């Protein structure tokens, strides 16, 4: 039997320390500035590209780590640095995962490199699924894709929202309805190449947190793309739709749609992001509690503070272990029979919200000001329970998986 261990090997430790150094030396010093500016930190992304941290090769190496820990380890360290800047660095990854999950080998080889560009001309990509009236309820999606057989083109129309890098991306991956009759099973993903007429940026959102990450609407007005831009190809789509129609008649098993396949693959990674933010806030609170004097002694001497820190660290470690388990299960092909991916995302996200709130409390009035980073970390942590499936949706997925009942 293979040896079981929670210990990272020497190569993994070297990568972790390298990323941590970049987060400490480059990301953290710039975090407050880009949070205030609410702009994409292109210089930081370029610095990451120059050292190979923002590149297809690096993320491919981590994605194919046989232990499954490469991606969560990367996410934790980057988001320990700052959530907004880190999301600007890794946001392209969601679009890349969308192509990996649904595309052909040719599509993967053609489009993913264009998502990153090169160190002298960095690019970003966007995954566009949510809509103004269809967030968690993907069955209500209205963006349509109609096939023009005479020209072998797909024509897309609709509005996407909450898109990371939306409108500024070199490559957009868009989920659209191709067959409304089978609900969410009638969705497909499309590549929108750079410079395609009809795609434009709509509203750019001013956000509560992760302000250094660009979030905007993407408007699709009669956007035409070649048939080759349908991820997976038309033959595969036709087969999938035929099965969906048949199962809709017979009440057979449910099929995953294109958006859900992407989100399922990325949930443990989001959990790792949350762990990084929680760990950062905990470390600030711990250092503060050791040095802050009240009534003639450090405040950590008080059980009320010390016990909070103990609980914070316990939750962080538990969240990390859940993320690692789900990541290991995913890479080794073990099914999420108990919705372990959703469990990891749910617990880590709620942990980030709770731990950052406790950090603010431990710092007291200082924690409420922008002079200390926990205020920003607390704002950033709110997103983890919202994007890529709210905590309520994760609970629904878990409950349905455990019970076998279509709980609503």
Catalytic residues: 388
CA-to-CA dists, residue 380 to 211, 309, 386, 389, angstroms: 8, 20, 11, 16
Q: Does residue 54 contact residue 62 with C-beta atoms inside 8 Å? A: no
Which two three-digit tokens encode residue 338?
């108990």
* SS3 annotation, the chain: CCCCCCCCCHHHHHHHHHHHHHHHHHHHHHHHHHHHHCCCCHHHHHHHHHCCCCCHHHHHHHHCCCCCCHHHHHHHHHHHHCHHHHHHHHCHHHHHHHHHHHCCHHHHHHHHHHHHEECCEECCEEEECCECCECCCHHHCCCEEEEECCCCEEEEEEEEEEEECCCCCCEEEEEEECCHHHHHHHEEEEEECCCCCCEEEEEECCCCCCCCCCEEEEEEEEEEEEHHHECCCHHHHHHHHHHHHHHHHHCCCCCCCHHHHHHHHHHHHHHHHHHHHHHHHHHHHHHHHHHCEECCEEHHHCHHHHHHHHHHHHHHHHHHHHHHHHHHHHHCCCCCCCCHHHHHHHHHHHHHHHHHHHHHHHHHHHHHCCCCCHHHHHHHHHHHHCCCCCHHHHHHHHHHHHHCCCCC
């Amino acid at each position: 039997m293979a040896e079981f261990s929670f210990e990272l090997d020497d190569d993994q430790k070297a990568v972790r320390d390298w990323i941590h150094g970049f987060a400490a030396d480059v990301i953290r010093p710039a975090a407050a500035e880009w949070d205030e500016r609410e702009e994409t930190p292109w210089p930081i992304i370029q610095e990451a590209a120059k050292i190979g941290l923002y590149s297809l090769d690096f993320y491919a190496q981590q994605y194919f780590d046989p232990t499954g820990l490469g991606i969560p380890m990367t996410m934790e360290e980057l988001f320990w640095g700052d959530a907004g800047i880190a999301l600007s660095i890794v946001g392209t990854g969601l679009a890349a995962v969308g192509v990996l999950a649904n595309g052909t080998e040719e599509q993967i080889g053609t489009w993913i490199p264009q998502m990153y560009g090169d160190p002298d001309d960095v690019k970003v990509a966007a995954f566009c699924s949510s809509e103004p009236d269809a967030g968690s309820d993907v069955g209500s999606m209205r963006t349509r894709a109609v096939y023009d057989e005479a020209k072998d083109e797909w024509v897309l129309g609709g509005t996407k929202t909450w898109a990371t890098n939306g409108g500024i991306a070199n490559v957009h991956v868009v989920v659209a309805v191709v067959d409304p009759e089978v609900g969410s099973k009638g969705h497909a993903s499309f590549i929108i190449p750079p410079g395609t007429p009809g795609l434009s940026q709509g509203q750019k959102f001013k956000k509560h947190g992760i302000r250094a990450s660009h979030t905007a609407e993407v408007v699709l007005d009669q956007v035409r793309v070649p048939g080759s831009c349908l991820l997976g190809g038309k033959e595969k789509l036709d087969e999938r739709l035929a099965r969906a129609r048949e199962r809709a008649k017979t009440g057979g098993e449910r099929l995953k749609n294109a958006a859900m396949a992407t989100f399922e693959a990325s949930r443990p990674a989001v959990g790792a992001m949350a762990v990084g933010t929680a760990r950062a806030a905990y470390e600030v609170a711990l250092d503060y509690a050791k040095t802050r004097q009240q009534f003639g002694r450090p405040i950590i001497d008080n059980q009320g503070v010390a016990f909070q820190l103990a609980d914070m660290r316990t939750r962080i470690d538990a969240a990390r272990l859940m993320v690692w388990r789900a990541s290991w299960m995913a890479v080794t092909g073990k099914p999420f029979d108990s919705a372990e991916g959703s469990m990891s995302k749910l617990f880590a996200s709620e942990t980030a919200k709770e731990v950052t709130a406790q950090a603010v409390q431990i710092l007291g009035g200082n924690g409420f000001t922008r002079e200390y980073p926990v205020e920003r970390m607390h704002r950033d942590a709110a997103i983890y329970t919202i994007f890529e499936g709210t905590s309520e949706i994760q609970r629904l997925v878990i409950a349905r998986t455990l019970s076998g009942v279509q709980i609503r």
